[in-house]
Amino acid sequence: MKLIGRRLIQMILILIVASIILFIIFDSDTFKMRIALAELGNFGVSAMDPDDYKAWLVKKGLDIPFYQRFALWVGNVLQGDLGWSFEKNTAVGPLLWAALKNTGILAFWVFALMVPLSLILGVLAGMREGSRLDRSISFISVFTTSIPEIATAIILTVIFALGLKWLPTKSAMISGFDGWQLMLPVMTLVLYDFGYVARMTRASMAEVMTSQYIRTAVLKGLPYRRVILRHALRNALIAPFTVIVLQLNWLLSGVVVVEVFFEYKGFGKLLLEAALFGDIYVVQACTLVAVIVAVTSQIISDIGYTFLNPRIRFA
Amino acid sequence: MADITIEPAAPSILAQLTRTRIIALLMALVWLPLSAYVISGVTPGGSADYMLLPSIPAVILLYLIAFRAWRESWVAVLGLSLVCFWLLVAVSVPFLPLFDPNKPIAPFQIPFATKGENFYLLGTDYKGRDILSRTLWGCQRVIVWGVTATLVAYMVGMLFGLLAGYLSGWWDEIISFLGNVLLSFPVMVLFIVILNYLGPSGFNIIVAVTFASAPAIMRIVRGLALDIKTRDYVFAAQTRGESPLWIMFVELLPNVRGPIIVDACLRLGYTTVAITTLTFLGLGLQPPDPDWGLMIRESAKTAMLFKFSYMLIVPALSVSSLILGFNLMADGLREMSLRD
Amino acid sequence: MTEQIPVLECRNLCISYFTRAGEIPAVVDFNMRLMPGEAQGIVGESGCGKSTVALAIMNYMGKNGKVVSGEILFEGRDMQKMSEEELRQLRGSRIAMVYQEPMASLNPAMLVGDQLAEVPIYHEGVSKEEAWNRARDMLAKVKLPEPERILNSYPHQISGGQQQRVVIAMALLSGPKLLLLDEPTTALDVTVEASIVDLIREIADESGTSMIYISHNLGLILETCDRITVMYSGEAVELGDVDAVFDMMRHPYTRGLFGSIPLPGADKNARPLVSIPGQLPLPHERPRGCNFGPRCDFFKAGVCDAAAIRMRQVRGSGPGHWSRCERIDDIDWDKPIAEGVSREITAPGDVVLKVDNMTKHYEIEESALFFSGEKKTVKANENIDFDAREAETVAIVGESGCGKSTFAKVLMGLETATSGNVQLGNFELGHLPVQKRSADTISKLQMVFQNPFDTLNPSHTVGSQIARVIRKFGVESDPVKVQERVLDLLDTVKLPRDFAKRRPRQLSGGQKQRVGIARAFAGNPSVVIADEPVSALDVSVQAAVTELLMDIQAEHGTTMLFISHDLSVVRYLADRIVVMYLGQIMEQGTTDEIFSPPYHPYTEALLSAVPIADTHVKKRRIVLEGELPSATNPPEGCPFSTRCRYMIPGTCDVTPPPLKQMSAGHRILCHLTDDELNAMEPVIVIEGAPSEKKEVRRKRKSVAQGAGSKAKTQPAAKRAAKPKAASPVKTTAKDKPSRSK
């Protein structure tokens, strides 16, 4: 428990430092200028002389010292005020919330399919290392992981949307939520990610199967099922568990491409569009959320690991 | 035992050519001209093409050497063949009879189309540029920026990993903490923030990849260093009063090489994905020079029809095959290292 | 003997592993007949195939191991022909196994109780409750304190000795007919080993279970078994009754093996060890004919390398004594093995190293960024006080956690002393970290390390690693001279000169250790610390490396601090011995003083714990109860008080013991009075001369020694009859010849 407490405090520290770093980046002159560009337009800025620009900064409250602005910003964030989107001309909070909800739906289905698929394949492959089943599973997983999401998305679109015309090409969901439109993005992400988790599970399972305590269990005369279910699985699934939880972090990267490609209105698309447009507050808010999600998943993975592994739990 | 002679001073250069050195030399012979060629951005067709000439035999030699060493693992050999194919294309593409990759000829020609006296094996894109030519030229940029970025990330990551692992104490606390801060950013988010801040370009991709990959590399090297530093030979070095720097670079560094090579292959794959993806998103390499990510980006905007899907499929398969090559190599190497 | 069905019979068993390189025969033509209640030992060096035999009996050889020919009969049934299900029913119920590493053999994520209960649940179908009850009883039977607590623990929460007892309990739960023990004590400390061996012996006596005991340690086999099989390079080379084989060796390898282990009576100057030349052949490079041929003194071309050698019955010995030697009748077995070259005795000179009341405490802080956990003090070394003279060998003996490694670190300057002094010559070192020492000082104090696989950097050539030392210490700087010096050093450690260009992975363990010795002596040190330099090597190689180390030491007049847990080796080579326990020196004195009474109670137990492979040696058995206390929380008063059988409640566990000066250099840290200490009886007694061999052999079985007032003594021979006075000749360590001459 002490260990978890210490990890928690460390994570909070990471969060604070990460947000300071973010703030430093977004507080740079480059970004201040971009805010001006976004608000006043290209022409407006080029018409200003340095003094006007300074006056504008004062007006916006961007001239006061860094730490004051940071404190102010933290205060605002804690109150739920994440700033204003110049591009969409709306408050960032609701915008981000809607996008996160969409990404949440996507992530849920990805995990719901990917976790059982990769665990089963991984365990099957690792159970009998070197068997034909193992080699086929291993090869398939290297193969699918090697095709980047962008390529998977293309291939799936060409086959299922353009060729067979079974599924829609885009997932913009203009006329309300549509499950069909969700299928291609989910398939893309699952195809790309399951191989990695399956390989981790396989490696972990294979290692456990060669361990001496499995030998002890077999030579104790236990039935094979019991050896696998009671002795091997518990130990073999500790490592994949942490990996799976940490995939949340990866998913936040993965969704960017997929959401952009399929025009799915989620977190990734919001972030990218804001970044390209120079919509600073949106980028800042998205990044902060991403870091919070990532750090939280790390905490969950740590706690889970500690809980699953008696060697640490009672250390 | 009498026949053993030890060259004392000034041994001949040939005698010093161990296998490792030959391989390093060949790699330099491929990588230096190629990166100079791409980074300087010379226009193809000039005399600058000739600096790539010695790289062609170097790639073939490297392939043969690696083939011999890895022949027991077909996985590794397959991966090696894929990677070396693209490497060979990268260094020899100026000498191939191809259309100018940036010159619009005839738009929307499907593969195997013949128009006038021109034959388009893989068709042309929406501007009428030859896709075969663009695909082959495109691998140059991916390979050069990918390898360079990974290399830089490794140098930074290994340095900090050795410092954290060997020196421990406060060094470790601080370096690991900073690493954890960086690792808590989802990779793509980190890329977007950094490239948004610095602006899209090849060099900035190197910076972004370094920030994204170095912490992970640091962790691995730190773990290895922590393990190796308990070995007696490190103890022996300490007890004869060697400096920490000497121990880190002479005693530790050569011994982390093995596991790191496998990881490097994987990471080359990740970097390739990252560069292609970033370019697709509009944050990476910029037009008009041919690049796989760029080809996908442009075609995805203009040609979302089954008839024209070749414009997307060709670069998608190309980048996949290169990454598959890296991953298979990593897999085969890991398998071989486990067997011994 | 009545016709009984053997519990286990191996007939012409051949086992191979199939790898990419092709078929590698691991065991060839192996025969064994194990009768009910009998204990058989299999002894051999690493790679000889002894563990393969055990796993083949269990029919668990992995996917590339296979019985190629021959059969394994369990109670008359061929195990090769059994179905998976039949095998499963045998495993764990009729045949059980105890493994080398108890920690790795237990499932880390399951309660000990659950792991034990599985055996009756799956073999006898009893209820879970009943199974737990049986498990609890069995834990009590293997003498584990608080069985209930252990049942509800995870394996990592109990000590190594306790884990091994749990594994033994697991093996015994269903009353097996056959118990396989694969190096069950190798991973444990000597005193813990002794208590486990004791337990195993009791079990065998009580339950009538047949045992196969696999070990590399001849002494352990002697203590536990009735019959012995000596294996070499995949073949059984000699087998017979333990006494017959030990007293009448009829295979050159067996003889060589005995010649290379230090038995009481061996003396480094007068009668050095004789090592077996050469190395074990790799499985796919075995010679034609006799596998031992290339290393054998009696090798005769055309006879020994003509064809595969068969087992022959040894004439003039008991029944069932066989040897795989073609020239068994040609060799004069009574002629002693060629003696090692005796060394001149170098008289110890001036004091070179003086350790004066040195204390080293560590503060352990559970650290995290910006947080300081509670501080704990580890008393790694407490008032270490001794000195070493020129050309003298001082051994530091103790089990794991006794502080010997910390002590070495302080000497080498990787740690600094908390208080007290360490003086090399007149130079104070204790508070000087290695970075602040001059090259000259550093080169005066060098070290030989324990693990041969770790001692050399795998990335650099042997030559460059030695050369670095030479340059670093400023012995030479001119490249040509450095090279010359490297080659000289290789000559000194008897390695071919072309090894300079090799990388460590091309060397065997013994060769690496020689390079390590060359490296330590490169700067002409005046003191060399040897940290268990041979403990990781095979027995037949150990002797050669030990001898080499002492040759060089004698030649250079170097002082050697020999750190070891192995009292046999120490007795053989040390002039003086320092016995440590939990960071403190319990006793120190000359080798004779340590090996004869008065003892410190810990020394007494340690002496008794070391297995000795000599049928003429009788030991008083003293088994230590309990576990080694943790160094972070040492007992009040005397550190040994928690396990000491002389413990005086109210004194030993409260007050730190006084240091008693028994004679000039003999000091004991103990509360016992001089009279009590002097009243102790010798632990090791060497009986009779070799001429009385047979007489002695018979006696051995019927001799037991009762001693000590509170002593928990046990019969020396395991199937002991009534104690009977054998009038043991009281001897000290070195003045009594035992074997040969």
Q: Are C494 and C515 in contact (CB under 8 A)?
A: no
Contact assignment for A146 to B323 by CB distance below 8 Å: yes
Contacts of B257 in chain C (CB under 8 A): 459
Contact assignment for B186 to A249 by CB distance below 8 Å: yes
Contact assignment for C107 to A226 by CB distance below 8 Å: no
Find the range with the poorest average confidence among A19-33, A242-256, C225-239: A19-33
pLDDT at residue C337, rounded to an integer: 65
Domain boundary assignment for chain B? 101-339
Q: Which residues contact A64 (CB under 8 A, 6 or more apart)?
A: none
A and C: number of Cβ contacts within 8 A: 84
In this complex, the residue of A13, A213, A311 whose CB is nearest that of residue C105 is: A213
Whole-number Å distance between alpha carbons of A258 and A21: 27
User: In chain B, which ranges are E strands?
Assistant: 113-115, 118-120
pLDDT at residue B103, rounded to an integer: 75
CA C150 to chain CA centroid, Å, is 28
pLDDT at residue C538, rounded to an integer: 83
pLDDT at C710 over 60: no
Q: Are B150 and B209 in contact (CB under 8 A)?
A: yes
**If you measure CA to CA, which chain B residue comes closest to C456?**
B233
Contact assignment for A6 to C371 by CB distance below 8 Å: yes
Of residues C256 and B10, the one with the higher pLDDT is: C256
Of residues C37 and C338, the one with the higher pLDDT is: C37
Tell me what the pLDDT averaged over chain A comes to. 83
Q: Best interface-test mutation with A: which of B184, B204, B262, B318 has the largest number of A CBs within 10 A?
A: B184
Walk along chain B (340 residues) and give the pLDDT tens digit of each residue.
333 333 343 444 444 557 778 888 888 888 888 888 888 776 666 777 778 888 888 899 999 988 888 888 888 999 999 999 999 998 888 888 777 777 777 776 777 767 767 776 677 777 777 888 888 888 888 899 999 999 999 999 999 999 999 988 888 889 998 998 888 888 888 888 888 888 888 888 899 999 999 999 999 999 999 989 888 899 889 888 888 999 999 999 988 887 888 889 889 998 998 888 888 888 877 777 788 888 888 887 776 777 778 888 888 999 999 999 999 998 888 888 776 5
Q: Complex ipTM, two decimals?
A: 0.84
Contacts of B196 in chain A (CB under 8 A): 275, 283
pLDDT at C709 over 50: no
pLDDT at A112 over 80: yes
Q: In the predicted model, what is the mean pLDDT of residues A194-200? A: 90
Q: Best interface-test mutation with B: which of A150, A157, A246 has the largest number of B CBs within 10 A?
A: A150
Q: Are C433 and B239 in contact (CB under 8 A)?
A: no
Contact assignment for B232 to C449 by CB distance below 8 Å: yes
Q: Are A177 and A97 in contact (CB under 8 A)?
A: no
A and B: number of Cβ contacts within 8 A: 133
| Cα dihedral sign, B127-B129-B131-B136 | negative
Confidence of residue C341 (pLDDT cuts 50, 70, 90): low
Tell me what the pLDDT averaged over chain C comes to. 81
Contact assignment for A158 to B317 by CB distance below 8 Å: no
| Residue C220: both structure tokens together | 């352990």
Q: In the predicted model, what is the mean pLDDT of residues A19-43? A: 76
Contacts of C60 in chain A (CB under 8 A): 215, 218-219
Interface of C with B in 495-554 (CB under 8 A): 496-498, 500-501, 516, 519
Contacts of C412 in chain B (CB under 8 A): 238-239
Pair type for strands C39-43 and C210-215: parallel
Q: Are C138 and A295 in contact (CB under 8 A)?
A: no
Contact assignment for B251 to C369 by CB distance below 8 Å: no
Each residue of C104-113: pLDDT tens digit?
999 998 999 9
B and C: number of Cβ contacts within 8 A: 74
> In Å, how far are B189, B218, C182 from B55, measured between CA atoms?
37, 32, 58
Whole-number Å distance between alpha carbons of A148 and A150: 5
Whole-number Å distance between alpha carbons of C138 and C144: 9
Confidence of residue C699 (pLDDT cuts 50, 70, 90): very low
CA distance B50 to chain A (A): 34
In this complex, the residue of C96, C106, C118 whose CB is nearest that of residue A222 is: C118
Each residue of A225-240: pLDDT tens digit?
999 998 999 889 888 8
Each residue of C355-369: pLDDT tens digit?
888 888 887 765 444
Whole-number Å distance between alpha carbons of C681 and C705: 10
Contact assignment for C412 to B236 by CB distance below 8 Å: no
Contact assignment for B1 to C369 by CB distance below 8 Å: no
Q: Looking at the DSSP assignment, which residues form a beta bridge with residue C17? A: C24, C65
**If you measure CA to CA, which chain A residue comes closest to C115?**
A217
pLDDT at residue C680, rounded to an integer: 84
A95-269 architecture in CATH? Answer: Orthogonal Bundle (1.10)
For the entire predicted model, the pTM comes to 0.83
Contacts of C101 in chain A (CB under 8 A): 212
pLDDT at residue C3, rounded to an integer: 63
Domain boundary assignment for chain A? 2-79, 95-269
Residue C75: left (phi > 0), alpha (psi -120 to 50), or beta? left
Chain B residues at the C interface, defined by Cβ less than 8 Å, are: 1, 4, 6, 8-9, 72, 173, 177, 231-233, 235-236, 238-243, 250-251, 254-255, 257, 339
In this complex, the residue of A150, A163, A250 whose CB is nearest that of residue B316 is: A150
Please state the CATH superfamily assignment of the domain spanning residues B101-339 in this structure: MetI-like (1.10.3720.10)
Contacts of C63 in chain A (CB under 8 A): 130
Contacts of B277 in chain A (CB under 8 A): 148-150, 256-257
Q: In the predicted model, what is the mean pLDDT of residues C581-610? A: 88
Whole-number Å distance between alpha carbons of C218 and C260: 12
pLDDT at residue B225, rounded to an integer: 92
CA C428 to chain CA centroid, Å, is 36
Whole-number Å distance between alpha carbons of C530 and C405: 11
pLDDT at residue C712, rounded to an integer: 39
Each residue of A44-90: pLDDT tens digit?
777 777 788 788 777 777 777 777 878 887 888 888 777 777 777 78
**If you measure CA to CA, which chain C residue comes closest to A312?**
C156
- Surface-to-core class of residue A179, CB atoms within 10 Å of its CB (0-12 exposed, 13-18 middle, 19+ buried): exposed
pLDDT at residue C724, rounded to an integer: 37
pLDDT at C713 over 50: no
> In Å, how far are A216, C112, C164 from C167, measured between CA atoms?
9, 10, 5
Whole-number Å distance between alpha carbons of B208 and B211: 5
pLDDT at A308 over 90: no
Each residue of C450-501: pLDDT tens digit?
888 888 998 888 999 999 988 888 778 888 888 988 998 998 888 888 888 8
**If you measure CA to CA, which chain B residue comes closest to C411?**
B239
Interface of A with B in 182-241 (CB under 8 A): none
Whole-number Å distance between alpha carbons of A160 and B267: 31
Contact assignment for A18 to B185 by CB distance below 8 Å: yes
Contacts of A25 in chain B (CB under 8 A): 193, 197
| Residue C158: both structure tokens together | 């109990």
Q: In this prediction, what percent of chain C has a pLDDT beyond 70?
A: 89
Confidence of residue C339 (pLDDT cuts 50, 70, 90): low
Whole-number Å distance between alpha carbons of C521 and A62: 70
